[in-house]
């Protein structure tokens, strides 16, 4: 046995050395290919002098910038910050630094503009921009640090994480600009100008990392999972040792019976009467200890921001109809959509169970968010989110919803997250006269962003207030909010409230050619696809392609969802056979 174990360890060691060597070769190949593609007709003297260093650096810069959409900005930024390096890793990090510098300048610009602003709505939009720019800078820092912690044995996880974080950086800048809807003055144009180059550099960073992923996939390097580096399932990270431990599984299984760290109760039977007071006492830490707050039954009129300084936090209620967090901030009364959320979650590894989230502003108040989530690897189990327009804002990052109920009227599930819904119920409510109802509005701005709304084994039907009058209103599965919106509905029940054409344009032909909308193996009276719209963006996918959108592949859920103990299906639910049933 000892000999066998030693032999196994040696093989593993040799494999790692081999992969490292091949990776170095791959980097050289990438630079060489880039040089060939960008040949300027000059030869470099192999003298080792400064001019040769600059020439080598320039060749490497051109190679790194080759896959980007904004090559001029890419080359200029790397020349300015790359310190004549020809190391691909250093150059990509230099690109991140350049983007950070520009985003920080935009954040400072928003503060300066806010000091001079008299229009309240514009002032709030600028304040939102400052907050969003801080988020964007954080994600770039995480990406740069992750790249600096280069570990060949975790290369695929590293690239996956960086792609999701860079995608969020792009979305945060876009959200800043979205916040200027119905504002006065020229602040919107000034912020658009301030963000113009940083948005291009953020896009370039995502392109660089995506190209690296593709290169490794094509080379089929031993030890690097081909499946995890394909274009569609670009998400996931092995977090099992960090937080999804057997203890977490027991916590979820126990539900409200678990002994929490603190208890919140309006009647004074806990340590705190408000949720915010309990959140203020959560220790700031970066370890794998889960901090549990039990929120007893009651209606809590609070606005909560669960910040990034808190990690591994679990909120457990007494049931989504008993423990309810409610608010009524809304767009009509002057709050930007981003800031209307009753509860906003940015903390990594956040979990909620048996809780209701509400925004009671009503349909006449337009955008009014009940829950906004930009927490990476967030899980919601047996929760309810109720509102009208823009109920659930799946803003960014990786999110999983199981056995949840979401209600609303217009775009009531929206955002640019990689969000998976399993076993959920979507209830379309009665809108205002002459309004149409739309279930989803995905916000994928760029083709390389690894995000999508994936609705699997769910139900889409009329709420009790709409059902008697549903023929008076037109309801649709979704519309493309941003140019590359991506929504997949599969193995789900679609009620007869959905119009035969299925999908609704946003404005004219905006996004109709570049979006990705597909329905696969659905059932129910609204699932007939014979009269669906014929946009280029409406796709028919094969069973094999459909597997790419399952939770196990798209967000690598086996690694961070399954160990939590939340009910979860890795693959197909209706056609996955024994493998799916095992989950």
Residues with a known catalytic role: 411
Smallest Cα–Cα separation from 451: which of 416, 487, 411?
Answer: 416
Give the chain's largest Cα–Cα span: 83
The b/e string for 211-227 (b: 16+ C-beta within 10 A; e otherwise) is: bbbebbbeeebebbeee
CA 214 – CA 12 distance, rounded (Å): 24
- SS (HEC) of 37-73: HCCCCCCCCCCCCHHHHHHHHHHHHHHHHCCCCCHHH
3 state DSSP class of 441: strand
CA 252 – CA 259 distance, rounded (Å): 12
Beta bridge partners, 313, equal: 291
DSSP 349: T
Query: CA distances (Å), 391 to each of 71, 384, 441, in order?
Result: 39, 10, 11
Smallest Cα–Cα separation from 200: which of 74, 316, 114?
Answer: 74
Q: By the 8 A CB rule, do 437 and 473 touch?
A: yes
Q: By the 8 A CB rule, do 513 and 536 touch?
A: yes
CA 125 – CA 133 distance, rounded (Å): 12
Matching residue, tokens 């959320």: 341
Pairing verdict, β 291-295 and 262-264: parallel
Matching residue, tokens 């192999």: 46
CA 3 – CA 365 distance, rounded (Å): 72
Distance between first and last Cα of the chain: 34
CA 394 – CA 373 distance, rounded (Å): 5
Would you call 355 exposed, middle or buried from its count of C-beta atoms within 10 A (0-12, 13-18, 19+)? buried
CA within 13 Å, CB half, 544? 1
CA 82 – CA 60 distance, rounded (Å): 10
Beta bridge partners, 202, equal: none
Beta bridge partners, 420, equal: 400, 454
Q: By the 8 A CB rule, do 396 and 168 touch?
A: yes
Q: By the 8 A CB rule, do 336 and 191 touch?
A: no
Query: CA distances (Å), 435 to each of 76, 425, 546, in order?
Result: 48, 22, 33
């Amino acid at each position: 046995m000892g000999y066998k174990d030693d032999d196994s360890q040696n093989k593993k060691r040799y494999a790692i050395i081999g992969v490292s060597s091949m990776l170095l070769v791959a980097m050289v190949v990438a630079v060489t290919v880039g040089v060939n593609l960008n040949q300027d007709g000059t030869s470099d003297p192999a003298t080792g002098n400064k001019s040769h260093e600059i020439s080598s650096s320039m060749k490497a810069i051109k190679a790194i910038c080759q896959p980007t959409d904004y090559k001029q900005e890419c080359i200029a930024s790397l020349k300015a910050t790359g310190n004549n390096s020809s190391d691909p890793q250093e150059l990509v990090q230099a690109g991140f630094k350049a983007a950070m510098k520009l985003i920080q300048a935009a954040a400072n610009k928003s503060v300066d503009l806010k000091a001079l602003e008299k229009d309240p709505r514009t002032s709030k939009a600028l304040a939102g921009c400052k907050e969003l720019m801080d988020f964007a800078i954080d994600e770039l820092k995480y990406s740069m640090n992750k790249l600096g912690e280069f570990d060949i044995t975790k290369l695929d996880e590293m690239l996956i994480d960086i792609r999701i974080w860079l995608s969020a950086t792009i979305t945060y800048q876009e959200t800043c600009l979205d916040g200027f809807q119905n504002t006065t003055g020229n602040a919107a144009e000034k912020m658009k100008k301030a963000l113009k180059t940083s948005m291009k550099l953020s896009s370039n960073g995502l392109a660089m990392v995506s190209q690296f992923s593709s290169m490794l996939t094509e080379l089929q390097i031993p030890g690097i999972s081909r499946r995890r580096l394909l274009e569609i399932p670009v998400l996931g990270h092995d977090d099992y040792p960090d937080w999804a431990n057997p203890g977490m599984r027991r916590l979820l299984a126990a539900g409200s019976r678990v002994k929490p760290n603190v208890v919140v109760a309006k009647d004074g039977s806990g340590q705190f009467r408000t949720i915010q007071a309990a959140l203020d006492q959560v220790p700031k830490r970066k370890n794998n200890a889960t901090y549990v707050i039990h929120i007893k039954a009651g209606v809590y009129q609070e606005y909560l921001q669960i910040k990034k300084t808190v990690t591994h936090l679990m909120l457990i209620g007494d049931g989504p109809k008993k423990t309810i967090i409610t608010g009524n901030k809304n767009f009509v009364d002057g709050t930007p959509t981003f800031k209307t959320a009753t509860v906003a979650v940015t903390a990594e590894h956040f979990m909620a169970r048996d809780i209701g989230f509400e925004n009671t502003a009503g349909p006449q108040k337009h955008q009014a968010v009940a829950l906004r989530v930009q927490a990476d690897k967030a899980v919601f189990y047996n929760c309810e989110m109720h509102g009208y327009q823009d109920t659930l804002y799946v803003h960014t990052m990786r999110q999983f919803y199981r056995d949840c109920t979401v209600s609303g009227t217009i775009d009531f599930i929206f955002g640019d997250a990689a969000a998976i819904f399993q076993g959920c119920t979507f209830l379309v409510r009665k809108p205002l006269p002459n309004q149409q109802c739309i279930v989803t509005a995905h916000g994928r701005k760029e083709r390389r962003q690894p995000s999508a709304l994936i609705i699997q084994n769910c139900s889409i039907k009329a709420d009790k207030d709409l059902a008697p009058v549903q023929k008076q209103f037109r309801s649709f599965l979704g519309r493309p909010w941003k140019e590359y919106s991506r929504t997949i509905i599969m193995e789900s029940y679609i009620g007869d409230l959905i119009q035969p054409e299925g999908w609704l344009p946003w404005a004219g032909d905006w996004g109709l050619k570049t979006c990705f909308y597909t329905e696969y193996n659905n059932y129910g009276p609204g699932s007939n696809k014979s009269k669906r719209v014929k946009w280029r963006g409406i796709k028919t996918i094969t069973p094999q392609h459909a597997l790419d959108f399952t939770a196990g592949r798209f967000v690598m859920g086996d690694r961070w969802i399954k160990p939590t103990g939340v009910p979860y299906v890795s693959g197909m639910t209706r056609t996955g056979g024994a493998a799916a049933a095992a989950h």
